Amino acid sequence: MMEKQALIDVFIARVKSEDEIKELFQDVEELESDLREHDVTLDQLQIPLLRNYIAKLIRDERNTMSRFLNLMRYFGTTHQYDLYIYFTSLLNSPGVVDQIKLRLDPEVRNTVFDKLQEPPLGSDIDQMPAYTSRFMERLTQTMERTDLRKALAGNNHELPQEAFAKEKEIFDQSNSLDEYLKGLNQRGIDTLQKHCDLGIIWFEQIITQEVVDYVKTNPEIMSATRVGNKLYIAAHRNKAEVAISDRQIGETIGIDIFFE
């Protein structure tokens, strides 16, 4: 394990309580103990063996969100980004479904989820498409299109409104929408370049110079291109998923960009 005091210092800096830090070490030490049976240390761990451990947790019904988040945070702190990214792939989808579920009318929710078995938390991502397909089929069969769009288009990642405050300020001070979009694109490129240069992860992607250079060629990845009263964005291009809020031009535009 990474030197314990160094880890404690990191998590104290992130305003983690003593109990939270204790629980994190317990979860990491339990994984470490399991790895000893395979003559593998934490810094040698690869995804296939981690997958086996997670499968064991699922069988034992100890596959809790807090445990997975603790392990994910540990591997993020130790810069084992392949393992960190793997955990994000396991935890993102269930969180989104839970947010959608909260926005459903109770009667609709009961109808949609009746006998719809969700894969256990921690299930490999290849188990999610079939479940998601059944989930969406139930939604479309149960809800009117307008209500369905509202249910799906909420704040599924629970981003705080304050996260957009700086962009709103820049937008309000811009002379035109085109000026704002140009600046937004450059700020996005600068952010990617910084993460590339420092070798730190950005959302769920290790940013390479190849990624930065590609993004520079297309302003629709980090920003948008305006044609008349429409904004065009690039979606699902070079592993970039871009989501733009459904608001009229002239209002503050919220853009959530992340790499898978």
User: What confidence tens digit (pLDDT) does each residue in 120-142 have?
Assistant: 999 988 888 999 999 999 999 99
Of 215, 217, 210, 209, residue with least CA distance to 240:
215
Instruction: Average the pLDDT over each of 13-17, 176-180, 224-228, 255-259 and give the range with the smallest value.
Output: 255-259
Res 6: pLDDT: 73
Whether residues 165 and 245 share a domain: the answer is yes
Yes or no: say if 42 and 57 are a contact pair by the CB < 8 Å rule: no
Residues 6+ apart with CB under 8 A from 238: 211, 214, 215, 221
H or E element, residue 232: strand 230-232
Q: Which residues contact 232 (CB under 8 A, 6 or more apart)?
A: 220, 224, 225, 226
Residues 174 and 234 reside in one and the same domain: yes
- pLDDT for the residue numbered 254: 35
Where in the sequence is the domain holding 109, given as residue range(s)? 90-152
- Quote the percentage of the chain above a pLDDT of 70: 88
- pLDDT above 90 for 205: no
Q: Which residue has the tokens 């590609």?
A: 214
24 and 58 in a single domain? The answer is: yes
Residue predicted with more confidence, 60 or 238: 60
Claim to verify: residue 57 and residue 104 sit in the same structural domain: no
pLDDT of amino acid 236: 44
Q: Is the domain of 61 the same as that of 125?
A: no
Strand 255-259 to strand 240-244: parallel, antiparallel, or no bridges (unpaired)?
A: antiparallel
pLDDT value of position 247: 32
15 lies in the same domain as 78: yes
Same domain, yes or no, for 20 and 84?
Answer: yes
In this structure, the answer to whether residues 95 and 63 fall within a common structural domain is no
Read off the pLDDT of each residue in 169-175 and give the average, rounded to a whole number: 96
- pLDDT reported for residue 2: 57
> Can you give the pLDDT at residue 36?
96
Say yes or no: 53 and 13 in one domain. Answer: yes
Residue 252 has pLDDT above 50, yes or no: no
Per-residue pLDDT band at 240 (split at 50, 70, 90): very low
Judged against a pLDDT cut of 80, whether residue 31 lies above it is answered with yes
The per-residue pLDDT for 235 is 65
In the prediction, which pLDDT does 158 show? 80
10 band by pLDDT with thresholds 50, 70 and 90: confident
pTM of the model: 0.74
The mean per-residue pLDDT over the stretch 83-102 comes to: 88
| Mean pLDDT, rounded, for 216-220 | 95
Q: Does 166 lie in the same domain as 137?
A: no
Q: Does residue 61 surpass a pLDDT of 90?
A: yes
Instruction: State the total domains in the chain.
Output: 3
Tell me the pLDDT of the chain averaged across its residues: 85
Residues 62-89: tens digit of each pLDDT: 999 999 999 998 998 888 999 999 999 8
Residue range 109-118: average pLDDT?
A: 92
